[in-house]
Amino acid sequence: MSHHFDSPTAIADGRINLCDLFVFPGVSGTTTLILTVNPDAGRSSATTFRPDALYEFVVASDGGTREDIAFRVTFTEPDNAGNQQVHVLRADGAAARHGTEGTLLGEGHTGEVFSLAAGGLAWAGLAADPFTADGIALAGFLAGLAAGQYNPGVFTSAPNNIFAGRDVTAVALQVPDADLRGTRIAIWARISLFGHAPQLQVSRIGQAMLRPLFFSPPDPESETLNAGAPASDMDAHGKRVLSIAGAAARLAGLADPDAHADQVLAAFLPDLVRYQPGQPASFQPGRGNGRALDDDTFDIAVAVLAGSTLGNASVPRPPTAEFPYLSAPRPAELPALADLFGLREHEPE
């Protein structure tokens, strides 16, 4: 939902389907960066990472839309037990904008915490999905908007989290704040494929809930969004966000629908997370500080679109005490998410 099943390419291979991005303070003087992929890992999606994919956290140290730092993570082919070797590199300046090269910060194996240069840490592996959302209610609400109806009643009073008991694979880094080189930075994550053809960006995420609110169901424009960059988001996708936000405001009877739509546009685009290192994380589209694992992202984002609180996701799972702060996977006998939404993915590997 936050980014799960957001484009035809992502539906085809969960290993390159970015789900969520989290940015929050770690232990004293560090920042934790987490990206999740493989929605419903182990059921309708894989439990490994794609060996020809580059998983990146990118940073604009001036808080803008042009990256000058990239933390690059790659994986080897999985062994018979599904374990993979992990390499973490860093690229700076113009080299951060494209390519696969960088200075090696550290290497290890999936499922294990390992050290990075300058006191950092890294981990990658299977974890419980930290996201909570009532995806069925949201789908009904958006379908109503498209039909000219405003149906806040689809969000019942009883919390309903379709991600309960489901897993993802995740990459987590803990880096010194000084390595981010800014007092107010911008961060997003992206995935590209490389090795067999020219490098191709296939997915990215910054602002949680941008895609399920404004690009659902997935279509060719969601592919364009994933292949793009924050600097072009307003020009490429602003009209779409304004149209949906304006429709919601008019149907809800808000006093000034156009002004509300402008506020929603500014909240969700460009697609990045702004963060002040050392300050507590608090998710709020357009004016928050990073995103913590236990932020009520779904309800907050739906409220920004609607102009009032409608959501009813379950209380997010609290982080664990130690890095990587993610809960252990919790296999359960549940229908595959792809089946719930009428989607089909590759068989888990």
- Token duo for residue 176: 């010194």
Task: Classify residue 209 as exposed, middle or buried by CB count within 10 Å of its CB (0-12, 13-18, 19+).
Answer: buried
Instruction: Please check the confidence at residue 312 and state whether its pLDDT lies above 80.
Output: no
Q: Please say if the pLDDT value at position 313 is more than 90.
A: no
Report how far residue 53's alpha carbon sits from residue 22's, in angstroms, rounded to the nearest whole number. Answer: 20
- What whole-number distance in Å separates Cα of residue 146 and Cα of residue 248? 9
Determine the Cα–Cα distance for residues 66 and 58; give it in Å rounded to an integer. 9
Which pLDDT tens digit goes with each residue over 117-159? 989 999 999 999 999 999 889 999 999 999 999 999 998 777 7
Cα–Cα distance for residue pair 177/314, rounded to 1 Å: 32
Q: What is the pTM of this model?
A: 0.93
**Banded pLDDT at 10 (limits 50, 70, 90):** low
Handedness of CA 207, 208, 214, 217 (dihedral sign): positive
Q: Is the pLDDT of residue 56 over 50?
A: yes
d(CA 226, CA 310): 28
C-beta of residue 8 within 8 angstroms of C-beta of residue 218: yes
Kindly report, residue by residue over 155-206, the tens digit of the pLDDT: 877 778 888 889 999 999 999 999 999 999 999 999 999 988 899 999 999 9
The per-residue DSSP string of 244-286 comes to HHHHHHHHHT-S-HHHHHHHHHHHH-SS-EEE-TTSPPB--TT
pLDDT 10s digits, 84-105: 999 999 999 999 999 999 999 9
Closest by alpha carbon to 283, among 185, 228, 208?
Answer: 208
Distant-in-sequence, close-in-space partners of 189: CB < 8 Å, separation ≥ 6 = 18, 21, 33, 35, 55, 56, 57, 58, 204, 205, 206
CA-to-CA distance for 317 and 327, rounded, in angstroms? Answer: 8
CA distance linking residue 40 with residue 47, whole number of Å:
9
